[in-house]
Amino acid sequence: MIEINNVNKWYGDFQVLSECSISIAKGDVVVVCGPSGSGKSTLIKCVNGLEPFQQGEIVIDGTSVGDPKTNLPKLRSRVGMVFQHFELFPHLSITDNLTVAQIKVLGRSKQEAVKKGLAYLDRVGLSAHAHKYPAELSGGQQQRVAIARALSMDPVAMLFDEPTSALDPEMIQEVLDVMVGLAKEGMTMMVVTHEMGFARQVANRVVFMDEGRIVEDCATEAFFGSPRSERAQQFLSKIL
Ligand code: ADP
Ligand code: MG
């Protein structure tokens, strides 16, 4: 579903990604972790076409992200993205947040978009809040709306970039629970997170990045049991 092949990216003279390759099959849940500044956000933004890269190739469900002929807004709409900081539109109600892209990008009727959006809002346990505005919801609730909004686009895969790291501790679990549910239903997911409980529970694979390189890419149990690289061992000893 997501093929990342030998991607190299520079910001000016600084090489932020070096020969990154990851292959994510349909239904895989891949957790990406690593120290701050190792290039995790940059890589996930490249997958979604939010950041250009100079070398290599990323193919999502048969469509090449770097191909100038690719319709990026359309491709982006098929890959749900949830960021660290809630990116809901503050001036729109929750219902409008859930429907605006369905209507504008996918051309759905308002009625169809509302039906779909509210169904996903119910799934994340927030149907009572449809008429509210983002500022009236807690951080955890906003993040669940962001997930519902992404799902409303019928994505082929979901990308998460530290979706719980800006949340108060008591709200982290409610967001992780939604993500665990998605993973168990077979959604293809690439998740940047340091929530190792989540990784252990649902990830098939853990990718460890350091200084723009993929240092480890292995089965979850193998990663937690005995990471090969010293960097990953050090990293794990600090966060576990
Ligand atoms: P991570 O998500 O793993 O913390 P990032 O992908 O955010 O890492 O950043 C990787 C490196 O690229 C860092 O050294 C960061 O300072 C640098 N970087 C990120 N964005 C930019 C940018 N727009 N311009 C220049 N350097 C950047
Ligand atoms: Mg980051």
In this structure, the residues whose C-beta lies within 6 A of any atom of ligand 1 are 11, 16, 34, 36-42
The continuous run of DSSP H or E covering 223 comes out as: helix 220-225
pLDDT at position 160 is 97
The ligand whose atoms approach the alpha carbon of 14 most closely is: 1
The ligand whose atoms approach the alpha carbon of 39 most closely is: 1
pLDDT at position 238 is 83
Enter the pTM of the model.
Answer: 0.94
Ligand 1 center to residue 106 CA distance, Å?
32
Q: Which is the closest atom of ligand 1 to the Cα of 39?
A: 6
Q: How far is CA 116 from CA 11, 33, 45, 112, 212, in A?
A: 39, 33, 26, 6, 38
Q: Give the residue, out of 10, 14, 15, 16, with the most ligand 1 atoms within 8 A of its beta carbon, to mutate for a pocket test.
A: 16
Nearest CA residue ID for atom 22, ligand 1: 11
pLDDT at position 173 is 94
Tell me which residue of 187, 188, 207, 196 sits closest to 32, measured CA to CA. Answer: 207
The DSSP symbol for 166 reads T
**Could you give the CA distance from residue 187 to residue 53 in angstroms, rounded to a whole number?**
26
Cα distance from N-terminal residue to C-terminal residue, the chain: 31
**Could you give the CA distance from residue 171 to residue 168 in angstroms, rounded to a whole number?**
6
Low-confidence ranges of the chain (pLDDT < 50): none
pLDDT at position 108 is 96
pLDDT at position 226 is 82
Nearest CA residue ID for atom 1, ligand 1: 37
